[in-house]
Amino acid sequence: MAAAVAARKSRLHNALEGLALTATLQSFPTFAAAAFLLKLLGNNDLVGDPGVAIFVAVASLAHALVAVTFGPSFPAFCKTVYEPKFFDRTLSLADKITEWRTQPVASLQLVTIVLLLSVMAVVTASVG
């Protein structure tokens, strides 16, 4: 199965897949939480502004590009933002996500994000 996946997947396809996974699963939650935190702190510039979504999307993509560019060269420095399994040609997209989720560090990141967003949602709902 792994050989069949590797044979069908081009180098460009694999790189784009890895970049998309990095941006979606690692960068996007960080910038979405930052925008949410700014809103909680009373920044009224964010109310109803579509620029927030654009900022989060562009920042997530830029962050992922930097992580993907420097991650392989500086693994100790980029260990929390670069995941080598996202660029493994032998894994399918679902397998890449599964391999990432089963790591203790990724599990801790996911739990932290869920708890942070949950607390911010409760605070936002109670403040008004």
Q: Which of 126, 114, 93, 128 is nearest to 32 (CA)?
A: 114
First-to-last C-alpha distance (Å) of the chain: 52
Q: How far is CA 13 from the centre of its chain?
A: 18
Q: What is the pTM of this model?
A: 0.78
What is the pLDDT, as a whole number, of residue 20?
93
Does pLDDT of 80 surpass 80? no
Tokens 């693994």 belong to: 75
pLDDT tens per residue across span 17-36: 999 999 998 888 888 888 88
Half-sphere CA count of 118, side-chain side, radius 13 A: 6
pLDDT tens per residue across span 38-79: 777 777 776 666 778 888 889 999 999 998 888 888 878 877
